[in-house]
Structure 1
Amino acid sequence: MSSSPLVNKSTLVYNQIISFSPTKTPFKTPKGTKRKDNDENLPPGSCSTFSSRPSKKIRFSKPKSTSSVPPLFFPHRDDPPDPVLCSKCSDPVPPTKPTSKRYSTEEKLDMMLQALEDCHWKLSHFLHAISDHTTRGGRGARHAQVMSAFLQGRGTYTPIEIIDLWVRSPDSRIAKNTNHAELMYSFSTPYKAIRPLRPAITSLAVQMTEVKLASEAKKAVKPDAGLHATLRVKGAHKADLLDIGSSTFAEIGALQLQVQPVASRLLSTIAGGTTDIVRKRRPVETVVINALSTLNFTRNNEARLLPLMKGLLYFAHSAPVDLISYNSRTGDMPAYTTIYKAVKHLGKQESAATLARGRDPKVVGVIQFDNVQNYTKQRDHRVGRVNHMNIGMAGTFYELEDVNVEALSLESKQELVAKKSVAIVICWPVEGVEEPDTVLEVG
């Protein structure tokens, strides 16, 4: 049987040691000192043969060789096999990478809690320190990157998922014999002053919603928002007939959804409009538009476009003053005096528009006049009250469409008469007759 070509580590190490040829380096002479001549035939003087000074260490220099010899080492029994040495063997061992131990979630939690205990910190200290961005010296780059990735939702778990676990955890239950239940959804107590999680997080939600609703209402009642109908002389957005019509209600609803989306959604939820069922009686959208208009009118006395329309409707149907006063008290419409001023203001606008329309030479129309009698009988007899009859005249103007204005021009007719232009009209009374019955010339 032939010998195996395997070479173990000890043989390689021994060959490396043999391959080196140690040489003695010459002793160094201090600078400025001349070396004495030593005659080896002369015995030393009174000195002993052996020197009392300690001998210097002999340095061995590695011989220069071009051969690639692996470095000298003394392997430990626990070290992994060297891939260089194993490459010379017949059965090479592949290089191994150091592997880290896998820890379970419980073990990692224990390690983190132990680290906090070693730092003399509680969990609240750690969460506050890593979340605080108002430190005087500023945060480090690594700290800022970690918090930015977490708060922007780029991690494995989002912040709201963690908060949801906190709220639903049995550890955050409200303790008995405490007033923490009264602090749930609190508007009066600042959320920062509430220590338990559930009352604090619910109070935070309602207080932030309250701020948002106030911000939306403040934006909705601005003069340029579209809800103003002022009667002031120097008012920026006066009441106009063009703003009052059949499409006004829908336009106000679209404006509310654009400027006050949160308020509209909450009112729709209260009215039960979260489902897709369209109601035939008291539609949710109509009720929400009316309620939100009343709230905006209560906040700003000039944001009264829809309440003014309701007041004009009551005024046109001769509603009692007491009924108008009641609705004014509840914020559904302005006062009676304001409605009366609005009627006079809109009447002046209508008369000016009608007068300008009637004076327009391009408009063709017909006016119909009729006499009017109105008898007023006093039901309650008082001093100075008498029965009387109002006699007058009323006129109605009808505008004609698709009429050529030049046909009614007197100047155009005079020019045609001067030119002696004649228009010939031919009548054909019976079918099949070749000659016309009548020929009419119109000059």
Structure 2
Amino acid sequence: MQFTELKLIPPILKALRDENYTTPTDIQAQAIPYILSRKDVLGSAQTGTGKTAAFAIPIIQHLTQEQYETKGKRKIKALIVTPTRELALQIGESFTTYGKYTKVKNTVIFGGVTQNAQVRALKAGVDVLVATPGRLLDLMSQGYISLNHIKYFVLDEADRMLDMGFIHDIKKLLEKLPSKRQSLFFSATMPPKILKLSQQILVKPEKVVVNPVSSTAETIQQYLYTTNKSDKKALLLHILRTNEMDQVLLFSRTKHGADRIVRNLRNKKIDCAAIHGDKSQNQRQKALKQFKGGQIKLLVATDIAARGIDIDKLRYVINYDIPNEAETYVHRIGRCGRAGEEGIAISLCEPEENAYVRDIEKLIDRKIDRVEDNPFPQTDKPMNNEEKKEFEKEKQRKRQEYFANRNKKRADKKPGFRRRKRNS
């Protein structure tokens, strides 16, 4: 199938040709006809399958055809709600790209920055609003946004929306939306909570399921290093230095862990940066721009911050920490090997993560290739319950010893320390 077979208007087809898009992805080929027919859609597709275009293209077409019937200041007709600012910006760019030969105007709003520029864009009038939940509700409460004219509502990355605690915000938004609208609901996974939420939003939806989460692309080679926690930093350095890697997206489980990895690699003269929720919007955008432009070779990200990262021909993904949810592994490595390109996914596993690897291999129904020439092989076994208790007891003892020594040093330096401590 070609885009020319999807009954798209000439301005959109021209924009697609500019991007060298001729053949729609599976979710685009299935979802676009339903959306053009004004049906609600429940879409499930893993990251990188092209679902943004699947809803952006038909919405642009609807709005373009309706513009001939309306006059006056633009009202917000389409609302796309997404969990992260990176993803919001990416969606906004997609609307701009696919709609550049139309008169459809979009803007993006998100938290973490001052609202002045966003308010000015809203006052000028827009057709499509892409927003994160918090800033959207904030500007609604201030009277800058009205949802009275919404005809198209999209909830994107719904599973992450729930993971990030936005469920109450979404319910507030649903109360403000017109009942007569076309609703589109997209999520990479479909656990019971997500299905229940979709039932509150959609009316007799058409279901589009593409590339179930249990699948990994055949073009991605998967490798596993089993090592010890104490050797992980050295192993990562060994991998980076013995392989010619131009661009590497590395996943850390926590924000603090991401910062530690960056500090260690920079000390070893490796250009890298981290993106996560504690970074400012400017810092995140600067890191992404440097990574895409080749100024830095390695980008360290947490799972939530990585949503919305779209890098053409990214070849390498490294799991510094094995995710404790098997589906997350599939999403992570899906960042590379897109659109038929080859990708390489490398995972570093310490003893406590062996159970996670077994869950992943069960989900994807294949065994990940073990790397035999590992200079730091896994030698210790996972701790049993008794060993874990001893470990926690020893950790608590060391913590108490540390604070006792610290207080003693302070008291030695400041004679009045203990007296002031008691009186405070």
Larger strand share, 1 or 2? 2
Larger helix share, 1 or 2? 2
TM-score range, shorter chain: under 0.3
